[in-house]
Chains A and B, each alone.
Chain A
């Protein structure tokens, strides 16, 4: 079946611009996660959504970052007034919490470059 998809695959933007990244999770997966991966670094948790519950935003680095998810479908991660330090790969993952320990399935990521 279809996996997690993300768009765009690459995004180059100028400092100060807003960007919107999209994630399409696997159908039926109730949990959705966003991570940031800086070059050569590990995965940094940003936010997760679980069904219709309030999202856990504890990983968002600043108020320039926000995310939305409609029900159990598409999610968008928005970064306002981008800064050069926002340059990274943004990964989305989804999981079915009734499955094997909520195994996460990752998308290919969006590579964001802020000039």
Chain B
């Protein structure tokens, strides 16, 4: 119940294309769903996040789509660029005893071809 399943494991996209990464969760207690971007040798950095009371959130070229009934959410990267090549992690968070516990997906390695 605490797992977050992420797919695909790796993704290759042409420059200008759309990258789509999917995640699914089980525990309905999760109430915050962030996406992190990680470049080699660096720690993950928050990219965009959504709460379950909205179905979509867009920030620039990055969009999260959220389907509460299906317990699924996805990251869409529009007009993908070579600089977007990185590993992307979805996560699900719930408040527990005054703080937030995070469960991470296993990551998607994205490569955008020039």
Binding site for B on A (CB under 8 A): 4, 30-31, 33, 35, 40-43, 45, 48, 50-51, 53, 56, 91, 93, 95, 97, 100-109
Max chain A Cβ within 10 angstroms of own Cβ: one of B51, B100, B104:
B100
Tell me, yes or no, whether B93 is within 8 Å of chain A by CB.
yes
User: In the bound complex, do residue A41 and residue B102 qualify as a contact, i.e. CB atoms below 8 Å apart?
Assistant: no
Q: Which residue of chain A lies nearest to B91 when distances are taken between CB atoms in the complex?
A: A43
Contact (A101, B93) CB under 8 Å given A41-B107, A42-B105? yes
User: In the bound complex, do residue B106 and residue A41 qualify as a contact, i.e. CB atoms below 8 Å apart?
Assistant: yes
How many B residues have CB within 8 A of the partner chain? 26
A-B contact pairs, 13 of them (CB 8 A): A42-B104, A43-B89, A45-B101, A50-B97, A56-B97, A91-B44, A101-B49, A102-B93, A106-B36, A106-B44, A106-B45, A108-B43, A109-B43
Binding site for A on B (CB under 8 A): 6, 32, 34, 36, 41-46, 49, 51, 89, 93, 95, 97-107
Tell me, rounded to whole Å, the shortest Cβ–Cβ distance linking B93 to chain A: 7
Q: Which residues of A contact B106 (CB under 8 A)?
A: 41-42
Q: What is the CA–CA distance of A51 and B99 in the complex, to the nearest angstrom?
A: 10
Q: Which residues of B contact A102 (CB under 8 A)?
A: 32, 93, 95, 99-100
Q: Top 6 nearest A-B pairs by Cβ distance?
A: A106-B43, A102-B100, A42-B106, A43-B104, A50-B99, A101-B32
User: In the bound complex, do residue B97 and residue A91 qualify as a contact, i.e. CB atoms below 8 Å apart?
Assistant: no
Tell me, rounded to whole Å, the shortest Cβ–Cβ distance linking B8 to chain A: 14
Q: What is the CA–CA distance of A51 and B97 in the complex, to the nearest angstrom?
A: 12
Q: Which residue of chain B lies nearest to A41 when distances are taken between CB atoms in the complex?
A: B106
Q: Which residues of B contact A48 (CB under 8 A)?
A: 99, 101
Contact (A53, B98) CB under 8 Å given A42-B107, A45-B103? yes
Q: Which residues of B contact A31 (CB under 8 A)?
A: 99-100
Tell me, rounded to whole Å, the shortest Cβ–Cβ distance linking A81 to chain B: 27
Q: Which residue of chain B lies nearest to A93 when distances are taken between CB atoms in the complex?
A: B43
